[in-house]
Structure 1
Amino acid sequence: MGYIPNKTLEDLEFFEVTKQIADFAITPLGKVACLEMVPLTDSKAALEELNGVSEYRASFDNDNRIPNHGFEDLSPAFKLLKIENSVLEINSFRNIAAATETVNTLLKFLKKFKNYYTTVNHFSSHLKVNNEIKKEVDGVIDRFGEVRDNASEQLYALRKQIQFQKGKIAQSFNKALSHYNNLDYLDDIRESVVENKRVLAVKSMYRRKVKGGIMGSSKTGSIVFVEPEATLQYSREIQNLLFEETEEVKRILSELTDFLRPIRDQIKAYQSYLLHLDTLYARARHAAVIDALLPILSDQQELEFKNAFHPLLLRAHQLENKKTFPQDIQLSPKSRIVVISGPNAGGKSITLKTVGLLQLMLQSGILIPVHEKSRFCWFDSILTDIGDNQSIENHLSTYSYRLKNMKGFLKKCDDKTLFLIDEFGTGSDPELGGALAEVILEDFYEHHSFGLITTH
């Protein structure tokens, strides 16, 4: 069973890489998914991810670029669709229709260019084009986010009546305005708007001479705002019609929600697919920036990184316009364990961390900055002992802690284990530390494990 502890990810700064990748995602959900990336337990799945990212990166440089995959989060809609008699908001319908259309476009594109994007196309093999969703939504909601007049015969009739009544209101109001203005009952502004209704601006001394409903007054009290009596009846009628319109719109949206409810799982699958594409895209963009690629998968347990860069160091130097120097590292059945010795600040730890981080990235479906002739294999376990690691809680010395750590390593290691130990044998008396290091190293060797060790 594979074992890559969280400590390994932290020691090798894996989450700093996922943060950089997350910056390239174009959706909030995609950013979260990138930040949550960890090594996969299935080598076949990891290789599929790597191939998918590699294909996506290649699409940036050719004429058949993979279309846009952006989408709005549909999760709130999924929750509502589970609740009987619930009704989605108009924005949810529009977002679902847009996501569906995006998926349809992608499915048609990938089918057409499946020879270019074999893996990315395979990721969509469980999905089918659905033209009905957009057709139904567009038949009800227009591009401005309004329910169409012709969404139902009843709604069409109601809105026609509402427009007729609005015309009557305008006609009667203008008549009253002209009449009372001729009598000099109105202020210079003549009219205003209160509660979305046109009202007469009546001089307060004439308020009893103007028939209608008082809607308020000015701050000084010199003007009284009156809705003419002639328009009141039409206003009451239009309020009734508007209520009926609201009820009809609710009914139409409820019907549209009921149409989507049985295909909720299909829409969820669409969002999951678009989310997956966003993580592929983000990893591909990251790969393009650090010039990363997919090395050759070896048919035996071996690792050969040529011109390998530490990805975080490379990115930092890129931003500072500094040169980064690559390294060559090889582990093979005949040379499974490499000991790197030398003075402090000589780059030993960087070499060790480069190997570990690049291997973690590959097993997480992330391309790495190496030469294309590099080779890699799969490790079920990746174990690290890097840095001081003094345990204050357990009052263990550095040496005691590391000895305990080594015992844990030896219980888990086998021929599919990669171990990385920095400053091996330190933290104790040099003679004792050296003797114990030799015993532990022999044990690793007998387990046929692979590893890098630094010492001085």
Structure 2
Amino acid sequence: MSKNISDKTLQDLEFSTVLQHVSQFCLTGLGKEKVLEIKPIHNKKELIKELFLVDEYLTSFTSENRIPNHNFDNIIESVKRLAIENSFIETEAFLKIATTSITVNELIKFFKKFQIQFPTFYKLSSQIEFTTYIDDEIKKIIDISGEVKNNASSVLKQVRKDINNVRGKIGASFTSALSKSISAGYLDDIKETVVDNQRVLAVSAMHRRKVAGSLLGASKSGNIVYIAPQATLSYSREYQNLIYEEKQEIVKILRALSNTIRPFVFLLKEYIDFLIHTDAIGAKGKYAQEMNAILPKISKEKKIFFKNAYHPILWKKNKNQNLHTVAQTIELNEKQQIIVISGPNAGGKSITLKTIGLLQIMFQSGLLIPVDERSETYIFDAILTDIGDNQSIENQLSTYSYRLKNMRNFLRICNENTLFLIDEFGTGSDPDLGGALAEIFLEEFYEKKAFGIITTHYSNLKVLANELENVTNANMQFDERSLEPLYRLFVGQAGSSFTFEVAQKNGIPFSIINKAKKRVETEKIRLDKTISNLQKERNRLQKNSESLESQKRKGQEHLNNLQEKEERIQDKLSGFQELYDKNQKMLSLGRKTNELLNKYFQTNNKKELTTNFNKWVSDEKVKHLKKTPEIPTTKSQKQQAKIVEKQLQQVIQKVEKEVLDKVVEVRQEKKEEAAKIAKEKSEYNYQINDKVRIIDSNSVGTIDKIDKKSVTINYGFFTTKTSVNKLELVEKAKK
């Protein structure tokens, strides 16, 4: 994969600028170096793995399980030195190696624990050996401050014990000499100082011969001399010898530790590679977060569908200036193989072409891209570009010569798995000759089934795009009133260059523009004017459509609100009705109870009260049972219910059969009617001025000429030939 993506293509699409932006998110210098060296990935499996890694890193930002810190020190030189037999490294280097080992182990444990959330990271990290031996061995010897521990060896422990003893003796002897010199008045006001890491007496120069010891220096003025007391000198020599022994023992210990860690040199290199890779992935993930980038669907079919795609460099630049960036939606597929974009200069043709190219390059380099989540794309074998002015002084090539050389390369490489991008196709030579050659190149790319996007001003290429079945015209929308670009791509129609209109807006005198118009071929002006008028009409219709859509949306929202209100009112009414019925029932029961009690109070006949109450309850039960259907409980009741159910099913099946028979009858009638219409169409003899369309096409044209095997169709600003069996009658010619 991606075998034919040259450095020139990366340069044309400003890929290095994107890498500069990504590298700013790296934690380490080594990670930054790796990011700046990113190129399109040739192996498809490796590319997909890289994309999944970046996507997993991105999703961690919105998860409770954030990826642990993976910052690390550069231990490459230390590991190289460690690899040399009988060598040793310093304590600081060992501490960095231990920290690196701990960092990698933490990541391995994390990805194993959360392997469902990070499956690709888990697979990557599980290939690295997990071991605590390296940092355990280093911790045994070296403490967190970088000092070799006393218990690293028995010899070192004893030497340091001796050093402490001698240091104590030096301190005691110096204190004694200091007291005597103070009492004798030999010292200056500062009394003592340190010279060469050794305490010395600050003796007044006049008393220098009265103090026994070694002269180690004097002040700048010469008024003070620095003397090490005689009593400390013997201890100092012993101290220096012990310090030397300590250093020798530390070297011996570090050499032994180096021998212990040396077998893990290869593993340490794996640690470094893993952490550098993780840093680069992290930078890609953070860049994706800033850009609102996502991983589009990776299509098995050859297609590109970028919805709401942004040019990342333009987006970042505009964001810094608080400017809006217009998103583009574009699709290439088997039926829309090549898109020819036309329209005025500075209208956004080139940036649209570069957006598609740069996003595809980013995707094939393992970067997520700023598009809508419904987007999808394919992995191409080759991406070819011809963008900008490419004069070569060194090779004595003009722009056109360079472009021809480039086209030769395109023809050699192009196949069905190629994406090509050509800006200002056909320019650099005589418009007629260059345009004719460009037509042939376009047909060649089309025949090779390559996918591509072309920008041009040439009318002949617009016409050719309309004639080739799977080639589509597109234009950058333009406000014909203000003559300002809208930077929106419209697929399906060629665009006017608005040459004279833009010239007028930029202050070119009207008289000069008129002279220029007279020198242009009438047909070319007519074509450009037709395209311009079509664009104006389309813009007007689009505005009307947007307005109607907005009104429809508001109307629907209003209708939804009214329906919601009606439902709420109905719910309340139902609730009130239930409450009212319940209250009426309670009032009725209360009145009846009150009636029975009043009668009892009058007669004082308990038996009559009981009889009347039981009768009343019985009547209420009968009423309740009438309202509530009785559930069959006995065997005979259940059998009767089954018989009724069976009879009901038979009726339903009978009705269903009658309906299906009627459907078959109607379908047969429609089939016969369709065959009759098709026969009439096949027997129809087309006439001049009949309005027709090519089957599966939306454009309607008029028949200008009828030959034996073909007909000529006039679409207004261009004509085309096709066979009769490909036509569909829209309207017969008026007699």
TM range (shorter): over 0.9
Which letter maps to 2:332?
A: L
Q: In the alignment, does 2:149 pair up with 1:148?
A: yes
* 2:71 paired residue number: 70
| Separation (CA, whole Å) in 2 of partners of 1:396 and 1:187 | 86
| Separation (CA, whole Å) in 2 of partners of 1:186 and 1:427 | 94
| Separation (CA, whole Å) in 2 of partners of 1:277 and 1:343 | 45
Q: In the alignment, does 2:322 pair up with 1:328?
A: no
Which letter maps to 1:220?
A: S
CA displacement 1:360-387 (0-9 Å, x = unmatched) = 0000000000011101101111110001
What stretches of structure 1 move > 6 A for 4+ residues in a row? none
Which letter maps to 2:407?
A: M
* 2:413 paired residue number: 412
The residue correspondences of 1:367-386 to structure 2 (distance < 5 A) are 367-386=368-387
Q: In the alignment, does 2:236 pair up with 1:235?
A: yes
**Stretch moving more, 185-194 or 114-123:** 185-194
| Separation (CA, whole Å) in 2 of partners of 1:197 and 1:399 | 81
Which letter maps to 1:445?
A: Y
Classify the secondary structure of the residue corresponding to 1:343: coil
Classify the secondary structure of the residue corresponding to 1:361: helix
CA displacement 1:158-179 (0-9 Å, x = unmatched) = 1111011000000011111111
Classify the secondary structure of the residue corresponding to 2:4: coil
Which letter maps to 2:132?
A: N
* 1:307 paired residue number: 308
| Separation (CA, whole Å) in 2 of partners of 1:245 and 1:77 | 23
The residue correspondences of 1:334-349 to structure 2 (distance < 5 A) are 334-349=335-350
Larger radius of gyration: 2
CA displacement 1:191-217 (0-9 Å, x = unmatched) = 111111111122222222221111112
Classify the secondary structure of the residue corresponding to 1:237: helix
Q: 1:80 offset after TM fit, Å? A: 0.3
Q: In the alignment, does 2:434 pair up with 1:433?
A: yes
Q: 1:188 offset after TM fit, Å? A: 2.0
| Separation (CA, whole Å) in 1 of partners of 2:337 and 2:79 | 51
* 2:84 paired residue number: 83
* 1:399 paired residue number: 400
| Separation (CA, whole Å) in 2 of partners of 1:209 and 1:400 | 97
| Separation (CA, whole Å) in 2 of partners of 1:421 and 1:393 | 23
| Separation (CA, whole Å) in 2 of partners of 1:401 and 1:48 | 38
Classify the secondary structure of the residue corresponding to 1:206: helix
| Separation (CA, whole Å) in 1 of partners of 2:329 and 2:374 | 12
* 2:284 paired residue number: 283
Q: 1:221 offset after TM fit, Å? A: 2.0
Q: 1:449 offset after TM fit, Å? A: 0.8
Which letter maps to 1:80?
A: R
| Separation (CA, whole Å) in 1 of partners of 2:41 and 2:52 | 14
Q: In the alignment, does 2:174 pair up with 1:194?
A: no
| Separation (CA, whole Å) in 1 of partners of 2:223 and 2:452 | 91
* 2:294 paired residue number: 293
C-alpha spacing 1:206/1:395, structure 2 compared with 1 (3 Å): closer
* 1:319 paired residue number: 320
| Separation (CA, whole Å) in 1 of partners of 2:217 and 2:392 | 75
Classify the secondary structure of the residue corresponding to 1:369: coil
* 2:32 paired residue number: 31
Which letter maps to 1:107?
A: I
| Separation (CA, whole Å) in 2 of partners of 1:113 and 1:319 | 38
Q: In the alignment, does 2:175 pair up with 1:163?
A: no
**Stretch moving more, 312-321 or 9-18:** 312-321
| Separation (CA, whole Å) in 2 of partners of 1:22 and 1:254 | 38
Which letter maps to 2:419?
A: L
Q: 1:189 offset after TM fit, Å? A: 1.7
Q: 1:25 offset after TM fit, Å? A: 0.3
**Stretch moving more, 355-364 or 390-399:** 390-399
* 2:641 paired residue number: none
* 1:211 paired residue number: 212
Which letter maps to 2:410?
A: F
| Separation (CA, whole Å) in 1 of partners of 2:419 and 2:335 | 15
Which letter maps to 2:287?
A: H
| Separation (CA, whole Å) in 2 of partners of 1:371 and 1:342 | 26
* Greater percentage in helix: 2
Classify the secondary structure of the residue corresponding to 1:378: coil
Q: 1:394 offset after TM fit, Å? A: 2.8
| Separation (CA, whole Å) in 2 of partners of 1:228 and 1:421 | 88
| Separation (CA, whole Å) in 2 of partners of 1:390 and 1:232 | 81
Q: 1:438 offset after TM fit, Å? A: 1.0
**Stretch moving more, 137-146 or 360-369:** 137-146
**Stretch moving more, 391-400 or 91-100:** 391-400
Q: In the alignment, does 2:186 pair up with 1:185?
A: yes
| Separation (CA, whole Å) in 1 of partners of 2:110 and 2:83 | 32
Q: 1:315 offset after TM fit, Å? A: 1.2
Q: In the alignment, does 2:332 pair up with 1:358?
A: no
| Separation (CA, whole Å) in 2 of partners of 1:237 and 1:167 | 12
Q: In the alignment, does 2:134 pair up with 1:133?
A: yes
| Separation (CA, whole Å) in 2 of partners of 1:350 and 1:187 | 81
Q: 1:400 offset after TM fit, Å? A: 2.1
| Separation (CA, whole Å) in 2 of partners of 1:125 and 1:292 | 28
| Separation (CA, whole Å) in 2 of partners of 1:391 and 1:164 | 80
Classify the secondary structure of the residue corresponding to 1:115: coil
Classify the secondary structure of the residue corresponding to 1:174: helix
Which letter maps to 1:13?
A: E
Which letter maps to 1:333?
A: E
Q: 1:116 offset after TM fit, Å? A: 0.2
Classify the secondary structure of the residue corresponding to 2:130: coil
| Separation (CA, whole Å) in 2 of partners of 1:400 and 1:238 | 82
Which letter maps to 1:451?
A: G
* 2:422 paired residue number: 421
* 1:122 paired residue number: 123
C-alpha spacing 1:200/1:394, structure 2 compared with 1 (3 Å): closer
CA displacement 1:18-50 (0-9 Å, x = unmatched) = 000000001000111111101011121111111
Classify the secondary structure of the residue corresponding to 2:370: coil
CA displacement 1:425-444 (0-9 Å, x = unmatched) = 11111111111111111111
Q: 1:124 offset after TM fit, Å? A: 1.1
| Separation (CA, whole Å) in 2 of partners of 1:321 and 1:258 | 59
* 1:9 paired residue number: 10
Provide structure 1 residue ranges, at least 5 long, that are not aligned to the other structure.
none
**Stretch moving more, 220-229 or 53-62:** 220-229
Q: 1:218 offset after TM fit, Å? A: 1.9
| Separation (CA, whole Å) in 1 of partners of 2:405 and 2:236 | 84
**Stretch moving more, 383-392 or 347-356:** 383-392
| Separation (CA, whole Å) in 1 of partners of 2:288 and 2:49 | 16
Q: TM-score, length-normalised on structure 2?
A: 0.61
Q: 1:344 offset after TM fit, Å? A: 1.0
* 1:246 paired residue number: 247
| Separation (CA, whole Å) in 2 of partners of 1:223 and 1:400 | 86
| Separation (CA, whole Å) in 2 of partners of 1:147 and 1:376 | 58
Q: 1:230 offset after TM fit, Å? A: 0.8
Q: 1:327 offset after TM fit, Å? A: 0.6
C-alpha spacing 1:187/1:400, structure 2 compared with 1 (3 Å): closer
Q: 1:125 offset after TM fit, Å? A: 2.1
| Separation (CA, whole Å) in 2 of partners of 1:239 and 1:392 | 71
The residue correspondences of 1:36-47 to structure 2 (distance < 5 A) are 36-47=37-48
Q: In the alignment, does 2:52 pair up with 1:51?
A: yes
Provide structure 2 residue ranges, at least 5 long, that are not aligned to the other structure.
458-735
Which letter maps to 1:391?
A: S
| Separation (CA, whole Å) in 2 of partners of 1:96 and 1:289 | 33
